[in-house]
Amino acid sequence: MQSRGRGTRSLAAGVQRDVGSQQRVAAYVIRGEAAFLLFTCVCVALHPGFVLKWREGGLSNYGLHIKTAVPYTLALALLSLYSQRAAAHCASGDSRSRQLRWLLAAFSLVLLLVLLSSYVYSLNPTLKVVHFALGGVLVVLVGAASVWMFVHWSPSTWDWLFLAVQLVGDAVALLTGLGDAHLLFLSEMLTNIGFVGLLVRSSRRVAVHGNGGPYSGEAAR
């Protein structure tokens, strides 16, 4: 009886640790997004002409100029850092937690590569192609991840809204790539908001029990 009681308390303690860890995942994602939006706003305030125009450029323009290089670097670097920290706190026992950890780690890495390539992409055509290719990888990763997060839980109204924002951002990016529109910055912001919204909700709803058992998403709605 005592052994069973100790086992029950041990299991409860383990579940509490998993829940606490999973809550930190969402907290790190929110911190990363808050830092990204804050320093992006600083960049726009310092030089709105780079992106707030009809034939607007992308966020990477801010990495090429001394005036905006520091807040631009902080925006992407902190988003990448906090995404990596969130990945480190994902529970390892549940398959969806492991997949979420891989997603966050991949997002962090690709984002960091995009940041590094943005400093030099204007130097020659090859570096420009590399930067745009990494941007394409990021778009595909974020799009696929958003769909994965959407279909793995019974979607709520907020999930539908975030996915819609994500898809609108992707559509604007596609039109920009085809030359039918020039709204790259808008597409980047829409895609980011939709993706992170789904990411925060998924990190709160993902199974935290190491046995991979069922998880009720109702509590997170």
Are 142 and 107 a contacting pair, CB within 8 Å?
A: yes
pLDDT-above-90 percentage for the chain: 42
The mean pLDDT value of the chain amounts to 81
Residue spans of the domains in the chain: they are: 2-209
C-beta of residue 57 within 8 angstroms of C-beta of residue 50: yes
Q: Which pLDDT value is given to residue 210? A: 39
Q: Are 153 and 202 within 8 A, CB to CB?
A: yes
| Residue-wise pLDDT tens digits, 195-210 | 999 998 888 877 443 3
Q: What is the pLDDT of residue 22?
A: 66
Q: What is the pLDDT of residues 139-152, one digit of tens each?
A: 899 999 999 888 87
Per residue in 148-173, pLDDT (tens digit) is 888 877 678 899 999 999 999 888 88
SS3 state at 95: helix
Q: Is the pLDDT of residue 113 over 50?
A: yes
d(CA 135, CA 127): 12
- pLDDT, mean of residues 14-26: 63
Q: What is the pTM of this model?
A: 0.81
Residue 191 pLDDT grade (very low, low, confident, very high; cuts 50, 70, 90): very high
Does the pLDDT at position 32 exceed 80? yes
The two three-digit tokens of residue 74, written as one number: 């902080």
Whole-number pLDDT of residue 189:
92
What are the tens digits of pLDDT across the range 47-97?
A: 888 777 766 678 888 998 889 999 999 999 999 999 999 999 887 667 788
Specify the pLDDT at position 130. Answer: 93
